[in-house]
Each structure stands twice: as C-alpha cells, then as structure tokens.
A and B are shown apart, each in its own frame.
Chain A
C-alpha cells in the first residue's frame, strides 16, 4: 500500500510546491492538470508510454554491480542503475516521451523546452522528431557557447535553438524565456519542463514519468540480491533523476535516500548550487515555493557547478519536503570530489559517467568506506559522460 500521498490537489508538498504564476498561465496549467489527471492512469496512454520506453529508449536499463570499483573503495557493495544506457544517454528522455505523448493527445503541434547542458533539449528534440512535432529549445547564451555539440545535436534533430541573452544567460533564464513563449503561444504549444520544478502539475508529472527508474530498480535488486539496498544515492540539481529513483522507495522502510547536490568550489565559498545542503531560505521561483539561493533582497544569485545539469539555484519542491520530513538526506560534493569519482569509474569499470552523476558516485565512495561489506548502495548513474569530455579535457589542459 502506498502510504505516501503527495502532493495535494494544488500541488503542495507541505509548504512547498503550488502554482505561483501570472494569471495568464493559470488556465493553461489547469488544462494540463485536467488532461494529466485523465491520462495518468489511462491504460492506452500508459501502454504507449511503456512501448516507447522499451523500444525507443531501450528500457529497462540494467542494474550493474560495480565489482572492481567496490573492491577498490573497500566497503559496502555499490550497484549502478544504468540510465546512461538510455537512448540519448541520460534519464531525461523518460520524461520527454511522457510529456510529448501528452502533448499529442492534447492536440498541441508545437513543443518548447528549456535546457542547461543541453541533455533535456536533446531529449525533447529527439521525441519531437519521432512524433513530428515542431520543437523550440531555449538555452542560455552562455550555455550555448559551452555546449556546442549538444546545440548541433538539437539542430540535427530539427529543433530551433534560441539563445537567451537575459539575466545570467543560463538555465534559470532559459526557463523564464520558455515560460514567456508559452504564455504567448498557449493555444498551440506544450511546454515540456525537464525537471521536477515549475508550477503544479509539473513536479508531480515529471516525477511520475521518471519513477520508472525506481520501479525497475526495486524489481531488479530483488532479482539480483534478493533484497533492497541499504541506501539509494542520486545527484540533485532540479532533482528529476533523484525523484525518479526515490519515489518508489519512499514507503520502503530501512532504505536511506540520499540526494547529492553540487558544492562547486565548496559550500563555504558561496560558489555552489546546493540550496538544500547550504540551508538556503525558502522562496518562490519558476512557479513553485522551495529552497532558493538568493540574496537578502530576494533576488536569485548565480550558482556554480562544474556540471551544467546541477547548476540551478532552486530544487524541486518534493525534495524540499522530503528534507523537511527527514525521509531523504541531502549532502553536497565539490567539483574536485566529483572529478576524482569520474576518473575512478572510468578506469575501474569502463564507464564514463556524466559529471552530474559523478557527484552521486563521489558520495557513494565516501559512504561505502564507512559501511560493512554486506551492505548495499544503489547509485543512480543518471547519464553518460561523453557530453563532458571537452570540460574534462580543459581541466587537464588538453585541447581536443
């Protein structure tokens, strides 16, 4: 029986979440809420979603025992949920397929998305191509420069990429701009948000589409080791891969849920992207109430992380809630620690992880050392690191 029953009808997770948008967006969100309610348990919709996850994405993604890495770390056994093996290379596609199928049912011929590193943009462009939808992706002008290969991928897939020049020219500004597009083109446009943030029903809907990760993992762990792990570890920017693997475990007793934020240069430097770990104040941004990195005037401050996918000043409202009710724990890993884990996994397991996922790996290493050898950690390896090789090369002073 599912005991945990969140959010409420207006998307509140306790004091977090909700619908904080201008009046011009209220009806569009209501339309989306009604349609999602209609389809979320509809057998035909779910069958189509499952079909695409299997045949287009390649699910189920395997759970893999990282044996050499476990030995090298010397402690608890570390298992990896291999979301990096999905089509497009990350967990993002699970959600874009769900939302694009909904867009199709709602008769919206045009989809828009925001993207930071470009993974969500690529995943949206991918499903838009497959379904024959027009696709426009908003990306901060700074990110367009830093992530040229993903910009080109989106264009190859037929999407229009619009660089956003306002504000800090990064992910949060891309999200603002996508909202502005949506409010202007409400009648023909579906906004595919890439993480468990935004106004209701997005945090719930994205969680639901991503929960396939945890549902599979629960079954796979039983098959592989006959029990559930002692801890599940996932990185948290907005928090969609973490919610995806956490959600089916919320009601399972004795499974610790640990979200890993980006500590950047270190929490003490202020140059990080870890609102939960750094105890940032509660605020309102992008349609929901959550913990937010902000100055004393309530303006959002710039974040820092080596990984563009974690470089976000807020966090999904359900993570804020899980922190407050102490069902999940949140920690932060620095750029340097993530890089070390990145190299360790490459060399001991033959897997190049995404820099985002490397934060979760780094924390798993730390934890494993303090645990017994019969204990088990499951890490959500949310994406592969091919997209990051330029960043890593640059750090090593290598020009590709």
Chain B
C-alpha cells in the first residue's frame, strides 16, 4: 500500500479528513523549505503538496506566482526540489509528498530520470498541471512502474465523459478544482462543489480532495464535510509571504492548527 493510501485509510477508519497544505519549494528561501515541511507535518498536515518552481505558472494566481519567483531568485530547480524531499525523508518517513508543477521542468530533466530520482528521494505522487491524461500516457506508466501515484485535476467544466477518462487514469486521489479560475481566486460555491463531488463519487472509489478556493478555516470546514481531503495553497503561501524569518515557522504552525481544528470539528 502506498503512503497516500495508508494515510487515507487511517483517516477513514477514524472518520477524519485529510489536510493537504501546499508550499512552493524554495519559498521564501531554500534554507527554510525542509523545516517548513516538518512544521506542516507536525502541526496538522496529513500530506504535503510541494510545488516545483516554474517561470511560467499559467494555472496559478498572483500569490503562487510570486512564490515561484522568490524561489527562482535562488535558482531552485527540480533537482534541488528532489534534494529537499530527500532531506525531509531522513526524519519523516510517513508523511506523503506530492509534487505539483508544470510539464516543462520534468521534460527538461527527462521522464525516466525524473521518475527514478523522485522515487529515490521519497516522492509519493505527482500532479503535473498542464499534462492532461491524453498527453501523458507514458508518464503515467512510468510513475506506475516506480510505484508513485498520478494525481489529476478535475474541474467544474469537466463533463461526464471526461470525468470517466480521468478517474480511470488517476491513482492516489482526485483533485477537484473548486472554481473556474486560477489558484487562490474568488470564493468557491460550496453547494456546487458538493453536487460535483457527489457526481464524481458515483464513478470512482478514489478519495477526492478539493482545492483552489479554500481561503480560511470556515471554508476548510465546509469542504471537509463533503470531500476526503482539503487542499490549502494560496492561504499558506500568503502566510509565508507575510512572515519574517523569526516568526515563519510559528505562523505556519498556528495557521495549520486553525485549519486542523476547523476540519476536525
């Protein structure tokens, strides 16, 4: 059983939902990333989504774009991101790590080289934003061979046939994008999300995570009531952006505690 499956099974057994925070590797500075990951894990995160910085993050709103820019100032490329995962794994062998990023850095490294290096570093799943399933069959196969999960997005505009196609390619969990827009955009419509998640459930047994519009603890709580996992990205990155070196870890830990409490309530 993969780490991701193990975590979802354990949560289900306890009737709890997963909290998945997102940070961009190298933001605000590469020296903080591994500490931030440990802080996330110790203050309520069940899994961590780690963003690969990219020069052209087309699906991201301004908050996560700035995170990428801060990381790229320090030349944090995919190799460095994998080094960070490896360092994290020396002390934490349980918390699943999902890499989230764009196709080009992965293709630049080479698909085979990437899957081998990611597996060796301790990565559990990969979400490549601009790889629709039709364009990445080889990549899905390579991940599968290495024992990593292929995480895919589903959106409010995905029709029934598309949902079928995607749930058949996905593993680990499904990531439902709760709104039409980029990461960190306007407020999500919880009733619509509820209906969509219910519709997706009729087609798959995979856990369903919801993200892209979870702005605060109250929204996280509502999402937790209808999904298996709550993904919080821009809100975490804003907290990083607004922290100083001195209070970075304590601010993140406090935010995670708030979200955890809301989700468990």
Tell me the A residues contacting B by CB distance below 8 Å.
Answer: 10, 18-24, 26-28, 166-167, 172-173, 176, 179-180, 183-187, 281-287, 292, 294-300
Of A10, A22, A166, most buried by chain B (CB within 10 Å of CB) is A22
Of B105, B154, B166, most buried by chain A (CB within 10 Å of CB) is B105
CA distance A299 to B69 in the complex (A): 11
For chain A, what secondary structure do more than half of its interface residues adopt (helix, strand, loop), or is it mixed? mixed
Q: Which of B24-67 contact A (CB under 8 A)?
A: 53-59, 61-62, 65
- Asked whether, in the complex, the Cβ of B72 is within 8 Å of the Cβ of A186, the reply is no
Tell me the B residues contacting A by CB distance below 8 Å.
Answer: 53-59, 61-62, 65, 69, 72, 75, 77-79, 102-109, 129-132, 134-135, 152-159, 162, 166, 177, 180-182, 185
- Asked whether, in the complex, the Cβ of B132 is within 8 Å of the Cβ of A23, the reply is yes
Chain A residues with CB below 8 A from B107, complex form:
282-284, 298
Of B58, B152, B162, B185, most buried by chain A (CB within 10 Å of CB) is B58
CA distance A294 to B77 in the complex (A): 12
Known: A24-B180, A187-B180, A287-B130. 13 other contacts (CB 8 A): A22-B59, A23-B132, A24-B155, A27-B155, A27-B159, A176-B58, A180-B181, A184-B180, A184-B181, A184-B185, A294-B108, A297-B75, A298-B54
CA distance A294 to B106 in the complex (A): 13
Chain A residues with CB below 8 A from B58, complex form:
21-22, 176, 179-180, 286
- Asked whether, in the complex, the Cβ of A26 is within 8 Å of the Cβ of B77, the reply is no
- Asked whether, in the complex, the Cβ of B104 is within 8 Å of the Cβ of A285, the reply is yes
Chain B residues with CB below 8 A from A287, complex form:
130
- Asked whether, in the complex, the Cβ of A298 is within 8 Å of the Cβ of B106, the reply is yes
Chain B residues with CB below 8 A from A10, complex form:
134
- Cβ contact of B153, chosen from A24, A27, A28, A286, cutoff 8 A: A24
Instruction: Say whether, besides A27-B158, A283-B104, A298-B105, A22 and B153 are in contact (CB < 8 Å).
Output: yes
- Asked whether, in the complex, the Cβ of A298 is within 8 Å of the Cβ of B77, the reply is yes
Chain A residues with CB below 8 A from B166, complex form:
23
B183 CB → nearest A CB, Å:
10
- Asked whether, in the complex, the Cβ of A284 is within 8 Å of the Cβ of B132, the reply is no
CA distance A185 to B182 in the complex (A): 11
CA distance A18 to B107 in the complex (A): 15
- Asked whether, in the complex, the Cβ of A285 is within 8 Å of the Cβ of B56, the reply is yes
- Asked whether, in the complex, the Cβ of B182 is within 8 Å of the Cβ of A166, the reply is no
